């Protein structure tokens, strides 16, 4: 992540860790900047110091850290404190009322939504790709078909020179190294997206571990957060795991091209993620929580998903709610360009419109 300007020292460390605790409140008075209708404008949400707390997805953490810092620069009176603790804990903390918003890569089901303390919106804030990172000595351009990927994570394929892997990688010198599957040890929305994909393309996976934020893994070793999985793969010869694309790029890991539903091998990228989402726009108008894995679009990367922000429609504090809505609208506008720099796919205008209409229904008690 490249944060320019005055981002340095302790502030830089805080942003990278996912805790954006910067600055302090500014006073109001006749010389204070006037309110602007544009999201993110200085003093747009409130003239008094406000801290908004959020927790959840590690998938979105690189974007959220940068957004929180940039928004605070424009609004010194508003601080966004985001904790990258995983989607499962983010949902739990939101449910318990200890944070103002949650962030999850697995949207709330109808059953889960009924357990929330108030009616809750699922707002897609950004989409991204789940990269298949690997550490196979001598292999720099790995290709994997859906069946092969599923069999690796089911423990059926145990070595890198297995004939099924070789069939996807003609001419490659595959080592006889044992495969070590690396997965999340915590409840994870990234895991939900990945296992949703595996359930879509593998009957054995669907009938076994299934789609879950915290499945019973058939094989492998666990690491906490995307950071933990990335560290395991990078330090383990023969390792393979799933991480958000930004983590794979930032840590200079190799990641595979996957065969999509159209039969093309595609590398993860913002463009290929946008293509995946565009393949389901019609369905999303009926239910914003639509999965976008294994998209039928010809140029789509097959393991893609949204991070959803959980927001109460009945907030207890009107000033804080106004500030939070302004921050979210800014994320959906100016923030999207910053997200693309971090390998996320910007939201389409159609999805931004759906989110904006949903936010109109948020009101204080």
80: helix, coil or strand? strand
Question: What's the pLDDT at 38?
Answer: 66
Give the C-alpha separation, 272 to 207, whole Å.
Answer: 29
> Residue 97: pLDDT above 50?
yes
Listed in sequence order, the DSSP H helices in 219-295 are 225-235, 245-250, 270-278, 281-284
Question: What's the pLDDT at 44?
Answer: 52
Question: What's the pLDDT at 225?
Answer: 84
Of 1-10, 117-126, 145-154, 238-247, least confident by mean pLDDT is 1-10
Please report which confidence band the pLDDT of residue 111 belongs to, taking 50, 70 and 90 as the band edges. very high
Taking only the tens place, the pLDDT of each residue in 237-279 is 999 999 989 888 888 999 999 999 999 999 999 999 999 998 8
Average of per-residue pLDDT values in the chain? 87
pTM reported for the whole predicted model = 0.80
Please report which confidence band the pLDDT of residue 363 belongs to, taking 50, 70 and 90 as the band edges. confident
Taking only the tens place, the pLDDT of each residue in 286-298 is 899 999 999 999 9
Map tokens 């406000």 to a residue: 50
Please report which confidence band the pLDDT of residue 6 belongs to, taking 50, 70 and 90 as the band edges. very low
Higher pLDDT, 42 or 216: 216
> Residue 328: pLDDT above 70?
yes
Exposure string for 67-101, b = 16+ CB within 10 A, e = fewer = bbbbbbebbbbbbbbbbbbbbbbbbbbbbeeebbb
Decide if 305 contacts 293 (C-beta within 8 A): yes
CB 111: neighbour CB atoms within 10 A? 7
Decide if 245 contacts 268 (C-beta within 8 A): yes
Q: How far is CA 84 from the centre of its chain?
A: 11
Taking only the tens place, the pLDDT of each residue in 15-59 is 333 333 333 333 333 333 333 456 775 545 457 899 999 999 988
Question: What's the pLDDT at 96?
Answer: 96
Higher pLDDT, 31 or 206: 206
Question: What's the pLDDT at 352?
Answer: 93
Give the C-alpha separation, 53 to 84, whole Å.
Answer: 11
What Cα–Cα distance (Å) separates residue 49 from each residue in 35, 67, 77, 359? 15, 18, 4, 23
Q: What is the DSSP string of 58-75?
A: STTHHHHHHHHHHHHHH-
Question: What's the pLDDT at 246?
Answer: 83
Decide if 176 contacts 138 (C-beta within 8 A): no
């Amino acid at each position: 992540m490249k944060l320019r300007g005055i981002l340095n020292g302790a502030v830089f460390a805080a942003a990278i860790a996912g805790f954006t605790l910067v600055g302090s409140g500014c006073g109001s008075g006749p010389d204070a900047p006037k309110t602007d209708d544009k999201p993110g404008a200085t003093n747009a949400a409130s003239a008094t110091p406000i801290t908004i707390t959020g927790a959840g997805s590690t998938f979105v953490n690189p974007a959220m850290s940068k957004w929180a810092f940039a928004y605070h620069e424009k609004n010194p009176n508003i601080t966004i404190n985001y904790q990258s603790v995983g989607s499962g804990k983010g949902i739990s903390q939101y449910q318990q009322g200890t944070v103002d918003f949650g962030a999850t890569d697995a949207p709330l089901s109808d059953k889960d939504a009924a357990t929330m303390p108030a009616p809750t919106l699922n707002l897609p804030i950004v989409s991204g790709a789940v990269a298949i990172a690997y550490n196979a000595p001598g292999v720099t351009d790995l290709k994997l078909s859906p069946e092969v990927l599923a069999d690796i994570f089911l423990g059926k394929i145990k070595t890198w020179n297995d004939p099924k892997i070789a069939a996807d990688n003609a001419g490659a010198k595959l080592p006889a190294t044992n495969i070590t599957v690396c997965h999340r040890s915590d409840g994870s929305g990234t895991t939900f997206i990945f296992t949703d994909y595996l359930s879509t393309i593998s009957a054995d996976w669907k009938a076994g571990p299934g789609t879950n934020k915290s499945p019973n893994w058939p094989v492998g070793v666990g690491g906490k957060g995307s950071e933990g999985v990335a560290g395991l793969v990078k330090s383990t010869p023969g390792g393979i795991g799933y991480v958000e694309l930004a983590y794979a790029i930032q840590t200079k890991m190799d990641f595979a091209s996957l065969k999509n539903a159209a039969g093309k091998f595609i590398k993860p990228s913002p463009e290929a993620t946008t293509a995946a989402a565009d393949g389901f726009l019609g369905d999303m108008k009926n239910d914003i929580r639509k999965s976008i894995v294994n998209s039928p679009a010809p140029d789509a990367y097959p393991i893609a998903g949204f991070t959803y922000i959980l927001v109460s429609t009945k907030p207890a504090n009107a000033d804080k709610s106004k500030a939070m809505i302004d921050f979210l609208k800014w994320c959906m506008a100016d923030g999207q360009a910053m997200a693309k720099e971090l390998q996320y796919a910007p939201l389409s205008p159609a999805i931004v419109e759906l989110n904006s209409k949903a936010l109109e229904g948020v009101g204080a008690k």
